[in-house]
Amino acid sequence: MKTATMNKKASPNKGKKRVTFVCKAEPGSEVYLAGDFNDWNPEKRRLSDKEGDGRFTATMLLPAGTYEYKFIINGQWSIDPECEEWVPNKMGSLNSIVRI
């Protein structure tokens, strides 16, 4: 008797968690997210304000780990004021921390 074998491919999202970043800013602002998860690219991940109320969000799938990040609001780098944990960075300011 022959048995069928299934070719199981590993899911690229396996082990990743959905993380939503939220930033409050003036409606109409340009808000981006930069961190060590996207090589600190200040234009790679734009947040959206779907309701037009100044609550900007972006959701990402990230593997378990600790990540440093900042928001860029209208060109100004900013920590996440809702975050409870920060670390000093090489620029003499702080980075927000998210643990997954």
pLDDT of residue 55: 98
For the ranges 10-14, 21-25, 62-66, the lowest mean pLDDT is seen at 10-14
Q: What residues contact 1, with CB distance under 8 A and at least 6 apart?
A: none
Dist. CA 42–CA 76, nearest whole Å: 10
Higher-pLDDT residue of 8 and 50 is 50
CB 98 within 8 A of CB 60: no
Domain boundaries along the sequence of the chain: 17-99
Domain 17-99 has CATH 2.60.40.10: yes
Kindly report the pTM of this predicted structure.
0.83
pLDDT single digits (tens) 53-87: 999 999 999 999 999 999 999 999 999 999 999 99
